[in-house]
Amino acid sequence: MLGQVITIASGKGGTGKTSTAANIAVALCAYGEKVLLIDADIGLRCLDIVLGMSSYVLFSYGDVICGRATLKQAAVTHPIVKNLYLLTAPASFDEKEAFSQKNINAFLRYARRHFSYIIIDCAAGLGGANVAFGGSSDKCIIVSTPDETALRGGQIMADKLFEAGCEEIKLVVNRVKKGTIEKGHSPDIDKAMDTAGLGLLGIVPEDKDIPRCANAQKILLLYSDGKAVKAYNNIAKRLMGEKVRLLHI
């Protein structure tokens, strides 16, 4: 059975996309899945920092596409989560062949044969590599904070991914504060869905453990028992086809 490719994107920076990608991947691993996590944020790659793997990465997905390394050589196993593999982004845009739709398609077809899930953490915005990865994916997830500018950016990004060929695109609303919504300082979840024009995959509450673990290069799901952990686990379950109620913030 071939693995699923899931691209995680956003219309603007600062929405928590990288933390979402990392923690969904770890949650899927906790349920026994073999997961390849790809950092597609060319030049600004930081998934290795969030996962505490800065000293492990050597090759990028560009090296695999250009034939300088095999996927087995380039995808590095996490030191604790043994069924989680990281493949980092190229350091620059110099090698155009690494970012073409055709070559990314071929690369992901090969990766599907070796992993049950391939999670792609894209850069913020409408870059060509983001659209190429999204167009080759089974599902795309737009991560947005509950504010109008992020939601509008998410809606524009979703349109681009749909045009590129991904027909299943869902929304994760991140950094949700109950008090802020109740006071009318940010849109409620229904309005967020309407603004983005997307169905809801999950809600992740504001949680001080997320930046704390990221800055300490520790995986949130291994070092916290807060509400965000439950939220990421619920999203992972939904991706695997389970029906799970939305988290009560």
225: CATH: 3.40.50.300
Q: Which domain holds residue 101?
A: 4-239
Q: What is the pLDDT, as a whole number, of residue 91?
A: 78
Does residue 182 have a pLDDT over 60?
no
Hey, what amino acid is at 204? V
Q: How many domains does the chain have?
A: 1
| Residue 152 covered by a domain | yes
| Residue 97 covered by a domain | yes
Task: Give 229's pLDDT tier (boundaries 50, 70, 90).
Answer: very high
Does residue 39 have a pLDDT over 60?
yes
| Residue 216 covered by a domain | yes
Mean pLDDT score, 15-34 = 96
The percent of residues in the chain predicted with pLDDT above 70, rounded, is 94
Mean pLDDT score, 208-229 = 92
Q: Which segment of 28-42, 93-107, 148-162 scores lowest on mean pLDDT?
A: 93-107
Mean pLDDT score, 185-198 = 83
Coil, strand or helix: which one is 54? coil
Residue 146 CB partners (closer than 8 Å, separation 6+)? 173, 175, 176, 180, 181, 186, 187, 188, 189, 192
| Residue 244 covered by a domain | no
Mean pLDDT score, 78-82 = 95
Q: What is the pLDDT, as a whole number, of residue 106?
A: 93
Q: What is the pLDDT, as a whole number, of residue 129?
A: 82
| Residue 248 covered by a domain | no
| Residue 246 covered by a domain | no
**Which of 29, 81, 89, 20 has its CA nearest to residue 57?**
89
> Whole-prediction pTM value?
0.93
| Residue 249 covered by a domain | no
Does residue 185 have a pLDDT over 80?
no
| Residue 247 covered by a domain | no
* Mean pLDDT computed over every residue of the chain: 90
Q: Give the helix ranges, DSSP H, for 82-226.
A: 101-112, 128-135, 148-164, 178-182, 189-196, 209-215, 220-223
Q: What does the alpha-carbon distance between residue 14 and residue 31 come to, in Å, rounded to a whole number?
A: 28
